[in-house]
């Protein structure tokens, strides 16, 4: 059974700092991996999607990497801003035709002005 773990559970940094969020998964047979952002009381916004054949994806100040064989992904946020404060969720879609995403519990990020 696929399990997704995110470390740390919470992170507080000063504005301008570069930071890395970690995600690990137990079964390397994945189709893709997505990083989401969740604001309090709101839905999830997809940030980056990495297909299993890819190593990384970039969008603006965000860069996500994938090492499928070791079951790890990282989300790098450059020059963090207070507006980046949110919970960041990692989710994997298994291979084999399954529809579902399996989520981690998230990392709650606070960027202090």
45 half-sphere exposure, CB direction, 13 A CA radius: 10
Q: How far is the CB of 106 from other proteins (least distance, A)?
A: 8
Nearer Cβ to other proteins, position 1 or 113? Answer: 1
Nearer Cβ to other proteins, position 55 or 100? Answer: 100
- State which of residues 21, 30, 34, 73 lies at the interface with other proteins (CB under 8 A): 34
Closest CA to 3 of 91, 78, 112, 96: 91
Size, binding site for other proteins by CB under 8 A: 25
- State which of residues 58, 82, 105, 110 lies at the interface with other proteins (CB under 8 A): 105
SS3 of residue 59 by DSSP: strand
Residue 58 within binding range of other proteins, rule CB under 8 A:
no
Q: Give me the residue label for tokens 């207070």.
A: 82
- State which of residues 75, 89, 92, 109 lies at the interface with other proteins (CB under 8 A): 89
Q: What residues make contact with other proteins under the rule CB under 8 A?
A: 4, 31-32, 34, 36, 41-46, 49, 51, 89, 91, 93, 98-106
């Amino acid at each position: 059974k696929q399990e997704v773990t995110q470390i740390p559970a919470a992170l507080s940094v000063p504005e301008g700092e570069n930071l890395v969020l970690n995600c690990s998964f137990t079964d390397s047979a994945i189709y893709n991996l997505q990083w989401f952002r969740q604001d309090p009381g709101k839905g999830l916004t997809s940030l980056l999607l990495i297909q299993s054949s890819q190593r990384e994806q970039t969008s603006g100040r965000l860069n996500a990497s994938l090492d499928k064989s070791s079951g790890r992904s990282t989300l790098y946020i450059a020059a963090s801003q207070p507006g980046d404060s949110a919970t960041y969720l990692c989710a994997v879609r298994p291979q084999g035709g399954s529809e579902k995403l399996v989520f981690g519990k998230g990392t709650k990020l606070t960027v202090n002005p």
